[in-house]
Amino acid sequence: MKTVLLAAAMACAGLLLGMTFHATAGLAGDSVVGTTTLELQHAAAGRKVITELWFKAAPDATIEWFSPRVPLRPIPIARKAEPQPTPEKRPLIVVSHGNWGSRFSQGWLALELVKAGYVVLSTSHPGTVGDDQTVAGRYRLWDRPRDVSFALDEVFKSPKWAALVDADRIGFVGHSFGGWTGVSLAGGRYDPAQQRAFCQAAEDKDFYCQGTLKDDIAGVPAQDAGQSFKDARIKAFYIMGTGPGQGFMPDSLYSISVPFVVDTAQFDEILDPVSNSTNLARQIPGAREVVRAVGHFAYVPECRSFIGPILTRLAGLPLCDDPKGVDRRLAHDAVAREVVTFFDGTLARAP
């Protein structure tokens, strides 16, 4: 009976988490962030890669206070907007979400990047989205860098969007599984059997290892896992609360030569910070580690008061829980400043 009640609660929470809230606020002015959704079908991979482009909106755009999930605080964006005319192409930052996330999970950061002069491309990765969870999605992480490269290909095939962004100035931001995606795109090659062996042998298994060992992967193909998914178009990487990090082949990590920042959540309750983020920072040549006194979910949206924690706990997700003393809004401000400064320095204007 307890199992049935838990399943019902999870189903109810799943429906609530899948709802979208928005309210129209008014016409946009200068520097308001606009977005447009690109529903991209990657036929060769059999994946629908829903992608959001973020940019400065045209002055006649309409602002909405938008939240992709009921527990999360809304942000002001002009959806389905046209971009503001610009005399020059802008650098592009790709954003990849973590498990249970979506293309809006780092919307708080996308806002600041656009205001700082960037265009942002955020992808949703099938099988690891909040309302689309599969064993294959969680195991075949190497499908994610393919999603990113495919989305980039499609943007540059479009005369409208290619005219807006500078193909020579592309950066990457990722959180959790999204950070893993960044390591792969930078040249890291992955062995899922090595990762699983680490989790099986670990005495103190983190949340990720506990979960992945319960997945039945017998029918999930993995012959293509060890390929390189490096995308040389991406010139700089900033990853946050990243993992799993033990399955990457050391020689491939040593070969990474682009600017790299690893933002480590000191109190990460999902991915052990030392064996994941810090381990990667130590193996990637020249990588700079930023140790931040936050938990794993400091990098996702702020939650609504009261209702946010209730709904996410009902769903069994600690999405709205932060360690004592952590102010998620202040963490967002600090991370955004660090990210913008990093890309301002590494994606300097082409001569």
Out of 9-18, 60-69, 139-148, give the one with best mean pLDDT.
139-148
DSSP at 277: I
Contact 63, 46 (CB under 8 A): no
Predicted local distance difference test score (pLDDT) of residue 317: 81
Q: What is the pLDDT of residue 309?
A: 87
Calculate the average pLDDT of the chain: 91
pLDDT of res. 131:
86
Contact 331, 298 (CB under 8 A): yes
Q: What is the arithmetic mean of pLDDT over 222-244? A: 98
Helices and strands in the chain, H and E counts = 12, 13
Candidates 186, 190, 288, 189; CA nearest to 234 is 186
Give mean pLDDT, residues 314-318: 83
Please compute the mean of the pLDDT values over residues 129-148 and round it to a whole number: 96
Q: Whole-model pTM?
A: 0.92
Name the band, by pLDDT with cuts 50, 70 and 90, for residue 80.
very high
| DSSP character at residue 267 | T
Residue 36 host element (H or E): strand 33-42
Instruction: Give kind and range of the element (H or E) at residue 115.
Output: helix 107-115
Average confidence (pLDDT) over 227-243: 98
* Higher per-residue pLDDT: 25 or 186: 186
What is the reported pLDDT for 10?
Answer: 39
Q: Which residue type does 97 have?
A: H
Beta strands in 241-287 (DSSP E): 260-265
Share of the chain above pLDDT 70, in %: 91
Confidence (pLDDT) at 349: 58
Across 63-69, average pLDDT: 93
Q: Over range 220-234, report the average pLDDT.
A: 97
Predicted confidence (pLDDT) at residue 144 exceeds the cutoff of 50: yes
